[in-house]
Structure 1
């Protein structure tokens, strides 16, 4: 594969990753993700629990959770009237791994 072909693949990878990159690029969402990573992936946390640990308002946490959900980074599980949020381990985050690996391969091959 030549240099231009590899660059085109990386360009496509960036396009596929745009939503995830925008979602995880925000410091507030990063803090929410860190809180969620510190819990059992299957159990998850409710908005109130995330609010307590991040010291953000409930509306702010809800907004950022919505962005993360729309990007496919987190999932929500319902139990009656309760919603539990957790990291989606088999998701769009894999696209980031592919992007980084393709960039690494490109850099090793062409530089």
Structure 2
């Protein structure tokens, strides 16, 4: 395997780790269905506690998969997967070019 493919694989590890949890996957899918949601709105649609949702949102936010929009006292979470999608496209391209 080429060095480029190895580098792209390594750069994807944090993204894969963030998406490896089923609860975080559920949050991503929930945000994909809605423009924006607060922590409380996400909690209402989940079996997890509010602190657990906040924990998962922090991990997703740290990986750039969600962003926060502040409106008054409310914090809305919005799906922001553009950079992650580009990274995954780079991975597919590297694998196709160097591994097949």
The answer for the alignment partner of 1:103 in structure 2 is: 95
Name the CA distance, whole Å, in 2 between partners of 1:88 and 1:30: 14
5+ residue gaps, structure 1, are: none
Contact kept, 8 Å, 1:73 with 1:93, in 2: the verdict is: no
Corresponding residue to 1:93 among 85, 91, 100: 85
Aligned residue runs from structure 1 range 1-111, under 5 A: 4=1, 7-40=2-35, 44-108=36-100
Name the CA distance, whole Å, in 2 between partners of 1:82 and 1:64: 18
Name the CA distance, whole Å, in 2 between partners of 1:51 and 1:37: 16
Summarize deviations over 1:42-74 as a string: whole Å, max 9, x none. Answer: xx1000111111221100100000000001111
Contact kept, 8 Å, 1:45 with 1:84, in 2: the verdict is: yes
Give RMSD over aligned pairs.
Answer: 1.4
Contact kept, 8 Å, 2:64 with 2:81, in 1: the verdict is: no
Name the CA distance, whole Å, in 1 between partners of 2:85 and 2:62: 13
Structure 1 runs of 4+ with >4 Å offset: none
TM-score, normalised to structure 1, is: 0.82
Query: Quick check: which has more Rg, 1 or 2?
Result: 1
Report deviation, 1:99. 0.6
Number of equivalences: 100
User: What is the SS of the residue equivalent to 1:92?
Assistant: helix
User: What is the SS of the residue equivalent to 1:86?
Assistant: strand
Report deviation, 1:95. 0.7
